[in-house]
């Protein structure tokens, strides 16, 4: 069986809470051996850490751009303290989920964009302070994300993941050039996602990692549109066990075997988040 790493799973989400042990078992039975659980605000720092230890996963700590409107500068101090306190925890593998969201209407006003960029830059400084990779939220914001990454680049360079990437090929290669891998998940299973599928097909295999973003971004077989919802059909629940089927779509797009894809994307994940190597007993590839 292929060995998969789900590099982005909100395992602490309310939608998954009722049967986490079963979700973990289904993931393991499908070949998903590891999940990375990113925090989104200071309120769930403890939850993601405890879940990572409970299920032998890993976690990241950060303030998501969607949470920036309700965040305070005191939260940045809390993040700094948490990174310091848990810096020796082998399951803490990144600062994240951080970034910029210029899509949601509530986040696009100039003042809110400026506030997002302040929190993003301050969290990049913390990642640099603790020599940690970053997990980036990228939503119509690639160019600004890249600008701040260049401005604040540590001497050793960045590493990390641009989660749910959906920019241009030029932007993709700019992230790769700065040391990032690009996260692909359920969105690539939609035939109408032409640009995303083209990127997934054409980018270097060494640039790609796999993720579910569960319970968000469901693959096409779980998606229920508005008309179906009106008829009472419930949306399927995205979870890590869906990753191999998502991966099959990517393997088909690229014309490679599932095993080749699993080996490549797992190695890429370890390169992006080197702390995974000790947890998974895999080598960090240069």
Question: Higher-confidence residue: 224 or 211?
Answer: 211
Q: What is the CATH number of the domain that holds 143?
A: 3.20.20.140
- 207 pLDDT above the threshold of 70: yes
Task: Write the CA distances from 111 to 26, 68, 74, 116, integer angstroms.
Answer: 44, 12, 19, 9
| pLDDT(101) > 60 | yes
In a domain, 9, yes or no: yes
CB atoms within 10 A of CB 43: 12
Is the pLDDT at 284 greater than 90, yes or no?
no
Known binder of ligand: residue 53?
A: no
- Asked whether the bond before 97 is cis by omega within 30 degrees of 0, the reply is yes
In the predicted structure, residue 208 carries a pLDDT above the cut 70: yes
Nearest Cα residue to 115 out of 41, 65, 42: 65
Q: Is 34 annotated as a binding residue?
A: no
Q: Looking at residue 230, what is its pLDDT? A: 65
pTM (2 d.p.)? 0.95
| Of 162, 138, 145, nearest in space to 66 by CA | 138
22 confidence band (pLDDT: 50, 70, 90) = very high
Q: Is 216 annotated as a binding residue?
A: no
Q: For residue 190, give every residue at least 6 positions away whose Cβ sits within 8 Å of its Cβ, in sequence order, or none.
A: 220, 223
**What SS3 state is found at 101?**
strand
Structural domain total, the chain: 1
One DSSP character per residue, 227-285 reads: HHHHTTPPPPPP-GGGHHHHHHHHHHHHT--HHHHHHHHHHHHHHHSTTHHHHHT-PPP
Residue 286 lies in a domain: no
Does residue 152 fall inside a structural domain?
yes
Tell me how far apart the alpha carbons of residues 68 and 70 are, in angstroms, rounded to a whole number.
Answer: 5
Q: Per the domain annotation, does 285 fall within a domain? A: no
Is residue 59 over pLDDT 80?
yes
In the beta sheet, which residues pair with residue 35? 6
Residue 281 confidence (pLDDT) above 80: no
Assess whether pLDDT exceeds 70 at residue 231: no
* Averaged pLDDT for residues 230-251: 88
In a domain, 169, yes or no: yes
Q: What is the mean pLDDT of the chain?
A: 95
Q: What is the DSSP string of 51-63?
A: HHHHTT-EEEE--
The answer to whether 114 is annotated as binding is no
Residue 240 lies in a domain: yes
| d(C-alpha 3, C-alpha 231), whole Å | 38
Is 86 one of the annotated binding-site residues? no
- What pLDDT does 57 receive? 97
pLDDT at 2 over 80: no
Is the confidence at residue 286, as pLDDT, over 50?
no
Whole domain around residue 87: which residue ranges? 4-280
What is the structure's pLDDT at 282? 52
Which pLDDT band holds residue 223 (cuts at 50, 70, 90)? confident
Give the model confidence (pLDDT) of 263-277 as tens digits.
999 999 999 999 999
Task: Of 40-49, 85-94, 225-234, 243-252, give the lowest mean pLDDT range.
Answer: 225-234
pLDDT tens digits, one per residue of 177-200: 999 999 999 999 999 999 999 999
Structure tokens at 173: 């290669």
For residue 168, give the 3-state DSSP assignment: coil
Q: How confident is the model at residue 236 (pLDDT cuts 50, 70, 90)?
A: confident
Residue 81 lies in a domain: yes
Higher pLDDT, 231 or 155: 155
Give a yes or no: residue 15 inside a domain.
Answer: yes
Span 116-120, mean pLDDT? 98
């Amino acid at each position: 069986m292929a060995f998969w790493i789900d590099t982005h799973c909100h395992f602490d989400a309310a939608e998954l809470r009722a049967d986490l042990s079963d979700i973990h078992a289904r993931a393991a039975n499908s070949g998903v051996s590891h999940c990375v659980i990113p925090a989104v605000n200071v309120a769930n720092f403890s939850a993601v850490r405890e879940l990572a230890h409970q299920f032998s996963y890993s976690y990241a700590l950060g303030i998501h751009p969607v949470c920036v409107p309700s965040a305070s500068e005191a939260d940045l101090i809390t993040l700094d303290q948490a990174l310091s306190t848990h810096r020796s925890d082998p399951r803490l593998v990144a600062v994240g989920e951080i970034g910029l969201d210029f899509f949601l209407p509530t986040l696009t006003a100039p003042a809110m964009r400026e506030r997002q960029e302040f929190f993003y830059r301050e969290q990049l400084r913390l990642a640099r302070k603790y020599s940690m990779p970053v997990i980036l939220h990228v939503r119509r914001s690639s160019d600004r994300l890249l600008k701040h990454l260049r401005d604040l680049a540590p001497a050793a360079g960045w590493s990390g993941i641009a989660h749910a990437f959906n920019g241009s090929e030029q932007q993709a290669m700019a992230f790769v050039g700065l040391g990032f891998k690009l996260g692909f998940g359920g969105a690539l299973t939609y035939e109408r996602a032409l640009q995303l599928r083209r990127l997934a097909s054409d980018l270097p295999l060494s640039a790609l990692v796999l993720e579910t973003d569960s319970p968000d971004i469901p693959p096409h077989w779980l998606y229920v549109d508005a008309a179906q919802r009106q008829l009472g059909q419930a949306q399927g629940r995205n979870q890590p066990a869906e990753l191999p089927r998502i991966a099959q779509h990517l393997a088909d797009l690229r014309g490679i075997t599932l095993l080749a894809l699993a080996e490549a994307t797992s190695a890429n994940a370890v390169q992006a988040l080197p702390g995974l190597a000790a947890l998974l007993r895999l080598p960090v590839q240069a």
